[in-house]
Chain A
């Protein structure tokens, strides 16, 4: 029973964090039509927000705001400088964002190359069904779920969400209908960056923070988004939940390396069998899949 609680708790955490991280990646993919290879570094920078709070002995809860704000500023800079140049040029964008990620990673590496262990804001332990769990994990699951739900509700029910979805589907038609698609794209890109920063700051206490930490999130995110189906948000969240959950659950049974490897192989087979995505109907995918995927 205890093991079950541990395993399911870890799986839940992996699922919710990967959902949160994938959401930001997916927004960039649909809005700008590019795969953002610097995504992992965005998460890493957010995590360094938590490190900053740790070093300066400030309230650890501030790290979420600091990480988010840091990434919002960087997102603004990128949204007005390099990003418009590679909109809908997927291959170039892969190279550009890859280079960007390299620069960000190396800059952090030059500042401090060591691995930071950040103290979690909630200490102590909580006993659930005989298993003692760190409460921060529970909080993290809740926080991620809340954030993802908030983003989904925003996209579904607000005016801006409507404009966003319109710009996703057909930027030209959205412009014809009086939506400032460029502004919508910029705002969503900056929000996606902020989301990455917040996610990074949230997961920082649970993982070691080091300059190269982003790459593992990037590859998992890409596989999750492509496997689940980037044409709709259900696909993305489903893919992220499946990848995160299965990897975490498998790593309880075998070595973590073997678990990751088998999940990757499994994902590749699924992508090959259903190119439009596991959780997206083919008709929907044909209509709505981002240009970079076609």
Chain B
């Protein structure tokens, strides 16, 4: 089935499917899942060393919030890179997840928030509530074959959420947002584990990231993953073949939003603050850019793109902060114009070419 969809003659180049498919490692499903997990572990370890040696524990706190954004980027790549659905309001689900965590742990909306295991319940709510909202928006935009313009609905959602976020001060905390959110913790019986600072936070977030990437990779190696790729590559044809396109899109959208919500909850727990800012288009656009830079349809690309841009933003803070936005906009333009597939597919392509060069029979082929 992959072969058939790859051989499709009217391949829209904008979806960049061929490069993306090259990036998928070959081998059995379990091996692919382990490989993708290993890649993320390597990236996390590299970042850990970099930040720990330069900045110590403070650097690790910074790094864990980067990994949270990387998790968010992975969720967007799952939706956009594998199913071809471009949502321009994913930040809403991230923010909503953060707020769910805050509402469960800080007495701002509910007078007496849950006391035992509030953090865990917060994370649970942060997965479920964005999932429900995504279900609603997804039904609105996909039901009856309306899917081509999901970005209109997500645009409206983003607008509504930011308006609500800034005006409903009792619920969202106004411009300052909700502060003093307790850190992530877990209570089992009498034992309570809290991750508040430095290495434990970094390790927790990295573990969540690795597990989520492996779970998503597992979905992608299953038949559902093939359906997703076929929708991305040629929606009409997969509909003719009997795929319930709208249902698959809806499911992927909901799952992606749930992961985004989880990332938001981690963000609130680690940074102990959440503001309506994150629901705006700034973050939604940034995450699209991270995925574009890293490479659509690779999962790992989202992590790479996010960490690279975060490092850049970190280096450009201060007097250069104004120019960072210029770089962001310029990169968007350049990537679209050059139709670049991103860093990860490019590297894989390069490695494939090198492998062809050193092939013993001397037969040189393209990486494809």
Contacts and interface: CB of A to CB of B under 8 A. Distances in A.
Contact of B332 (A89, A98, A268, A275): A98
A109 B322 contact: yes
Nearest to A265: B160
A68 interface: no
A100 B141 CA distance: 27
Contacts of A9: none
A102 B285 CA distance: 10
Interface stretch (A134-142, A155-163, A253-261): A253-261
A115 interface: no
A62 interface: no
Given A85-B337, A106-B322, A219-B159, A294 B329 contact: no
A223 B155 CA distance: 9
Given A94-B151, A99-B333, A219-B155, A106 B140 contact: no
A268 B156 contact: yes
Nearest to B333: A99
B4 interface: no
Contacts of B315: none
B85 to A, nearest CB: 10
A95 B326 contact: no
Given A91-B14, A257-B167, A103 B329 contact: yes
Nearest to B141: A272
B326 A103 contact: yes
Contact of A258 (B167, B329, B331): B167
A91 B84 CA distance: 10
Nearest to A96: B336
B52 interface: no
A82 B331 CA distance: 14
Contacts of A86: 336
B332 A95 contact: yes
Given A99-B329, A106-B325, A268-B140, A223 B336 contact: no
A102 B140 contact: no
B231 to A, nearest CB: 14
B185 interface: no
Given A91-B14, A258-B167, A261-B163, A99 B328 contact: yes
B16 to A, nearest CB: 10
Contact of A264 (B148, B151, B160, B330): B160
23 contacts: A82-B333, A85-B336, A85-B337, A92-B336, A93-B336, A94-B88, A96-B332, A98-B329, A99-B328, A99-B329, A102-B285, A102-B326, A103-B330, A103-B333, A105-B325, A106-B325, A107-B326, A215-B281, A219-B155, A260-B163, A261-B164, A275-B146, A293-B149
Q: Which 10 A-B pairs have the closest CB atoms?
A: A99-B332, A102-B329, A103-B329, A96-B336, A106-B325, A99-B329, A257-B167, A99-B333, A268-B156, A106-B326
Interface of A: 82, 85-86, 89, 91-96, 98-103, 105-107, 109-110, 215, 219, 222-223, 226, 255, 257-258, 260-261, 264-265, 267-268, 271-272, 275, 293-294
Interface of B: 14, 86, 88, 140-141, 146, 148-149, 151-153, 155-156, 159-160, 163-164, 166-167, 281, 285, 288, 292, 322-323, 325-326, 328-333, 335-337
